[in-house]
């Protein structure tokens, strides 16, 4: 049976598990090779693209070029610094499973946890921002509680690895690695493989490198610097022109002058020469090399939305010889850059959820339990000034129509940023709450004691925050 929709016939029940197309782009140089490696399933091959820069070439750039190195750190460090946490499934809100996963992934190696901390795994995955892909091998173990967990999620050098994909659909199967002492490559398939492909919004098969433009510019800069240094070596000192009396005298005078070193003195007969002139060519033309290199550095920065990294050199004239930069848009530019990194953190978090958290839950909790989400913490620093002003306004208001949880979370956010003792803060709230409860004239007033206590202590926390930022004297007490 079939149904008609706008003149088109559709089957009453669609075919299931049928995929005719492929994600592989054979027109763009993607080559799948079935080499008969032991352990590689049927219809699975290695993916190659000989046109992309190699891992060794990227590493050479990072070792040799300061601009490339700074951009790589600007891209990776915010995610490495941010930290991570596990959020419950949005539908079931299963906090128990989320807490279990959090404990399993954050447990120390000396307590039976992974020998590779999860923070280290995330940091290693950010290498895909440069190398397109990051390869890891998941090594499992059984705990004394008879639970299956990771012994390590071991990083594998990307220049020794090749991704494995289904030859028809292009699905990710795992990767192969060249291992010293092995006659053939080793196949590491799911569920033992963890491969992070960076930039799947543009190329879900091979990924993208954020430093591809930077690499092309690096190659050009190396040529320019060679020519620039050669120019400086040849043209940095002035030239001497001797007007001599005859060809023979000119050669003898030239040899005597050329032999001078470090304020040397040469005696030249008056009948040899008529005049000696200095032809000053030092520095002329060097600014063009400098400007060309500065342009390539700026082009590299703009390719990753990190143009704000050029502002110091441009504002001081170090890049072009004259001050041409402005800090007026630095904040807006860096905010937009962090928005891009936030998108990257979502992609990386999704990969960890699908390949690491899911397997951990399935092996221990079964297929019916909803998988919690691995999440990179916010890359944006909270605005402590604005939060402190809001908390202070709430604390001094005559009537507050907000839940106590909101006041408490706002207060703890500020206290955390100021590195205050959270236990002492909670003790101060409890003491103030007991005080208000005892002094309350009736039951209705007593019910408002928790909020009153929180706002009372919150007022002091807000004052402390203002003092820490230099707005009011710092002698304000933190707790009552």
Task: Summarize pLDDT for 340-377 with one digit per residue, the tens.
Answer: 999 999 999 999 999 999 999 999 999 999 999 999 98
Please give the helix or strand (H or E) that residue 387 lies within, else none. Answer: helix 384-396
Is residue 407 situated within a structural domain?
yes
Last residue of a domain, one of 333, 350, 366: 333
**Contact between 189 and 173 (Cβ < 8 Å):** yes
Q: Tell the residue number behind the tokens 């001094």, with chain if given.
A: 396
Short-list 356, 401, 386, CA closest to 471: 386
Name the pairing type of β-strands 172-177 and 161-166: antiparallel
Residues 425 and 316 in one domain: no
184 is a domain residue: no
- The pair of structure tokens assigned to 385 is 């000034």
Q: Is the peptide bond before 191 cis (omega within 30 degrees of 0)?
A: yes
pLDDT of residue 84: 94
Strands 193-197 and 8-11, bridge-based pairing: unpaired
- Specify if 446 maps to a domain: yes
pLDDT at 422 over 70: no
How many domains does the chain divide into? 2
Quote the strand ranges of 121-253, DSSP E: 133-142, 148-156, 161-166, 172-177, 186-189, 193-197, 239-244
> Do 320 and 409 share a structural domain?
no
pTM: 0.74
The set of residues, in sequence order, having a beta carbon less than 8 Å from that of 183 and lying 6+ positions away, is: none
pLDDT tens track for 202-244: 999 999 999 999 999 999 999 999 988 888 777 776 777 888 8
Q: Which tokens hold the place of 462?
A: 């807000």
Going from the C-alpha of 278 to that of each of 107, 254, 286, 326, the distances in angstroms are 74, 13, 20, 41
Q: How many residues does the chain have?
A: 480
155 pairs with which residues across the strands? 136
Domain for residue 96, yes or no? no
When mean pLDDT is compared across 31-35, 170-174, 301-305, 434-438, the lowest value belongs to 434-438
Same domain, 329 and 388: no
Query: For residue 282, what pLDDT band results from cuts at 50, 70 and 90?
Result: low
Q: What was the pLDDT predicted at 243?
A: 84
Chain mean pLDDT for the chain? 81
233 part of a folded domain: yes
Work out whether the CA dihedral 358, 363, 364, 368 comes out positive or negative: positive
389 and 289 both lie in a single domain: no
Is residue 355 a part of any domain in this protein? Answer: no
With 80 as the cut, is the pLDDT of residue 451 above it?
no
Q: Are residues 322 and 219 in the same domain?
A: yes
Residue 254 has pLDDT above 50, yes or no: yes
Predicted confidence (pLDDT) per residue in 161-184, tens digit? 999 999 888 899 999 999 998 888
Give helix then strand counts, H and E, for the chain.
Answer: 16, 14
Q: Cβ of 160: how many Cβ atoms within 10 Å?
A: 16
**In this predicted model, what pLDDT tens digit does every residue of 141-166 receive, in sequence order?**
999 889 999 999 999 999 999 999 99
Reduced to 3 states (helix: H, G, I; strand: E, B; else coil), residue 278 is strand
Q: What is the pLDDT of residues 289-321, one digit of tens each?
A: 888 998 899 899 989 988 877 776 665 555 555
What is the C-alpha separation between 63 and 70, in angstroms, rounded?
Answer: 11
Which phi and psi angles does 92 have, rounded to 5°? Answer: -90, -20
Q: Residue range 278-295: average pLDDT?
A: 77
| 413 half-sphere exposure, CB direction, 13 A CA radius | 16
Host domain of residue 231: 214-257+270-333
Domain end marker among 298, 318, 333 = 333
pLDDT at 218: 96
Same domain for 311 and 415, yes or no, is no
Q: Do 232 and 291 belong to one domain? A: yes
Residue 283 contacts by C-beta under 8 Å, 6 or more apart in sequence? Answer: 235, 236
Using N-to-C axis directions, what is the helix angle for 404-417 and 422-439, rounded to 10°? 150
Q: Which residues contact 289 (CB under 8 A, 6 or more apart)?
A: 224, 225, 227, 228, 231
Q: What is the mean pLDDT of residues 232-260?
A: 80
Q: Assign 444 a pLDDT band (cuts: 50, 70, 90).
A: very low
With CA atoms as reference, report the closest residue to 137 among 193, 185, 76.
193
Task: Specify if 400 maps to a domain.
Answer: yes
Percent of the chain at pLDDT above 90? 40
Q: Does residue 84 form part of some domain?
A: no
pLDDT higher for 17 or 82? 82
> In this structure, are 218 and 326 located in the same domain?
yes
């Amino acid at each position: 049976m079939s149904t008609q929709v706008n003149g088109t016939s559709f089957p009453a029940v669609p075919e299931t598990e049928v995929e005719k197309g492929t994600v592989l782009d054979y027109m763009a140089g993607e080559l799948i090779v079935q080499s008969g490696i032991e352990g590689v399933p049927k219809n699975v091959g290695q993916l190659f693209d000989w046109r992309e820069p190699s891992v060794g070439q990227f590493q050479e750039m990072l070792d040799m070029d300061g601009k490339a190195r700074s951009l790589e750190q600007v891209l990776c460090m915010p995610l490495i610094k941010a930290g991570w946490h596990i959020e419950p499934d949005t539908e079931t809100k299963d906090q128990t499973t989320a807490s279990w996963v959090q404990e399993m992934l954050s447990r120390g190696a000396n307590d039976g946890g992974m020998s590779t901390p999860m923070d280290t795994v995330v940091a290693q995955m950010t290498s895909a921002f440069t190398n397109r892909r990051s390869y890891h091998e998941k090594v499992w173990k059984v705990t004394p509680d008879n639970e299956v967990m990771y012994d390590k999620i071991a990083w594998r050098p990307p220049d020794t690895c090749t991704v494995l994909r289904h030859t028809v659909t292009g699905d990710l199967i795992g990767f192969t690695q060249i291992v010293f002492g092995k006659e053939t490559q080793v196949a590491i398939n799911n569920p033992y493989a963890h491969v992070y492909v960076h930039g799947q919004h543009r190329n879900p098969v091979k990924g993208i490198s954020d430093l591809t433009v930077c690499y092309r510019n690096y190659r050009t800069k190396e040529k320019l610097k060679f020519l620039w240094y050669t120019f400086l070596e040849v043209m940095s000192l002035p030239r001497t022109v001797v007007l001599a009396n005859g060809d023979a005298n000119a050669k003898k005078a030239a040899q005597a002058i050329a032999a001078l070193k470090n304020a040397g003195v040469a005696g030249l007969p008056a009948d040899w020469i008529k005049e000696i002139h200095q032809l000053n060519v030092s520095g002329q033309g060097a600014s063009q090399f400098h400007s060309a290199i500065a342009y390539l550095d700026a082009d590299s920065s703009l390719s990753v939305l990190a143009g704000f990294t050029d502002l110091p050199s441009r504002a001081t004239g170090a890049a072009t010889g004259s001050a041409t930069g402005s800090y007026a848009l630095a904040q807006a530019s860096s905010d937009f850059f962090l928005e891009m990194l936030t998108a990257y953190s979502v992609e990386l978090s999704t990969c960890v959820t699908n390949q690491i958290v899911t397997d951990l839950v399935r092996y221990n909790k079964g297929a019916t339990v909803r998988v919690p989400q691995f999440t990179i913490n916010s890359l944006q620093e909270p605005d402590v000034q604005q939060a402190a002003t809001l908390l202070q306004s709430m604390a001094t208001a005559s009537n507050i129509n907000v839940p106590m949880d909101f006041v408490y979370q706002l207060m703890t956010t500020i206290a955390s940023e100021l590195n205050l003792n959270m236990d002492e803060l909670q003790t101060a709230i409890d003491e103030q709450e007991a005080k208000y409860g005892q002094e309350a004239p009736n039951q209705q007033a007593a019910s408002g004691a928790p909020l009153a206590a929180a706002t009372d202590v919150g007022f002091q926390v807000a004052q402390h925050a203002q003092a820490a930022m230099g707005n009011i004297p710092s002698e304000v007490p933190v707790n009552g």
